[in-house]
Amino acid sequence: MLLITSALFAAAVAAVPATTQSGFAPLPPLKHKIALIAHRAGRGIMPENTLAAIRNAIKIGADYVELDIRATKDGKLVIMHDRNVDRTTNGHGNVRDLDFATIRSLDAGEKFNAKFAGEKVPTFDEVLALCHNKVHIYVDHKEAPTEQVLAAIKKHGMEKQVIIYNGPEDLKAWKAIAAHLPVMPSLPDEFRKPGGIVEFEKFLAAEVLDGNIEEWTKELIADAHACGVKVYVDNLGPNDNPAGFKMAIEMGVDGIQTDYPDQLSKYLKANP
């Protein structure tokens, strides 16, 4: 979901009292020294946002699978990054305009590789059941009722195994109904300055901040840590390789999101 505009956001922050919200929700425990986050469950090596990809991420030992949540026309929660199904399946149309039966009939694997033909678009319920006590979920809340997403998380006993990603305003809505769940927005550009994170945290006491590695500096990460805030960066693109992993770790990040969780796992094992 989109962040609110810079001008409006800055005005909203300025209106918040000087005292930061107290207390952070606990983060899920990690298997590694930093969080190994499989972007769309590892889209560089598997068909994205599928159960096959999640099973592979579990096998690799990922700490989190990042998954995108949307609601179908008839209100079923499914996993799909794009607004429409065109890029990753053999179907056409927006998720919100298609019923679940139609989406379920699509092939979500063959476009990645013929050996994954027949892979289906999973439901959020299926994902939660598969991930329970095996891997945490970085919930990228795209387009679905907040209360419905929360109810599914509760139903599967996953409240201690999720972190919620969205824009700052939407995450305030999450905190209003589920203060015990950790949230993670991307830090807006206007707060990427000395003192900016302290200012931002007055508006939303986010447990973790996100953003591409190229948007972060060692100094900004230290500022976040001084506020008790973790930093999970996206190494997607030209830095999604061992050299980029090394750069991120040397900057002091707390987690790395990658399309290649197999490579990051190998790097972390070789550099404990």
pLDDT for 90 equals 98
Cα–Cα distance measured from residue 118 to residue 108, given in angstroms and rounded to the nearest whole number: 7
- The pTM of the full predicted model, rounded to 2 decimals, is 0.91
For all residues of the chain together, what is the average pLDDT?
93
Per-residue pLDDT at 244 exceeds 50: yes
pLDDT for 23 equals 81
Question: Is 136 tagged catalytic?
Answer: no
Question: Is 39 tagged catalytic?
Answer: yes
Average pLDDT of span 130-138: 98
Average pLDDT of span 133-137: 98
Per-residue pLDDT at 66 exceeds 70: yes
pLDDT for 269 equals 96
Per-residue pLDDT at 7 exceeds 70: no
Per-residue pLDDT at 13 exceeds 60: no
Which one of 81, 136, 141, 156 is the catalytic residue? 81
* Percent of the chain residues topping a pLDDT of 70: 92
Burial class (CB in 10 A: 0-12, 13-18, 19+), 185: buried
Per-residue pLDDT at 19 exceeds 50: no
Which one of 39, 136, 141, 156 is the catalytic residue? 39
**Three-state SS for 94?**
strand
pLDDT for 14 equals 41
pLDDT for 8 equals 43
Domains and CATH numbers, the chain: 6-14+24-71+122-270 (3.20.20.190)
Average pLDDT of span 20-48: 91
Cα–Cα distance measured from residue 108 to residue 87, given in angstroms and rounded to the nearest whole number: 9
Average pLDDT of span 3-29: 55
Residue from 145, 106, 179, 134 nearest 41 by CA: 134
At 97, is the pLDDT very low, low, confident or very high (cuts 50, 70, 90)?
Answer: very high
